[in-house]
Amino acid sequence: DQQVKQNSPSLSVQEGRISILNCDYTNSMFDYFLWYKKYPAEGPTFLISISSIKDKNEDGRFTVFLNKSAKHLSLHIVPSQPGDSAVYFCAASAGRTGNQFYFGTGTSLTVIP
């Protein structure tokens, strides 16, 4: 059973606009959430993370928002650039109970110049 879900397989955005990628989770034990970016034929690379004690974390153009009551997080990219075109994976872990990271199915982002 998929504990981390990304319901949008793909997203297209104009360069300079905001990209919003969404992620939902079901396991209330998850306390740490991450976003990874993946280019074809490469492994995922870490982008940004958020602990469950926060509701927002920013790093440059990337901001992650966490809504614990809704079990929902989102990644905002502002402004979007063509180099941001990649597959974005949401991941979650329950640090108190284990070392595992569980991933969503990914959202393929295309930024149109």
Partner 1 sequence: DAMVIQNPRYQVTQFGKPVTLSCSQTLNHNVMYWYQQKSSQAPKLLFHYYDKDFNNEADTPDNFQSRRPNTSFCFLDIRSPGLGDAAMYLCATSARFTGVTEAFFGQGTRLTVV
Q: How far is the CB of 17 from partner 1 (least distance, A)?
A: 25
65 vs 102 by CB, closer to partner 1: 102
Phi/psi region, residue 30 (left: phi>0; alpha: psi -120 to 50; beta: rest), is beta
Q: How far is the CB of 5 from partner 1 (least distance, A)?
A: 9
85 vs 106 by CB, closer to partner 1: 106
In whole angstroms, give the CA distance from residue 81 to residue 36: 17
C-alpha gyration radius of the chain: 13
13 vs 104 by CB, closer to partner 1: 104
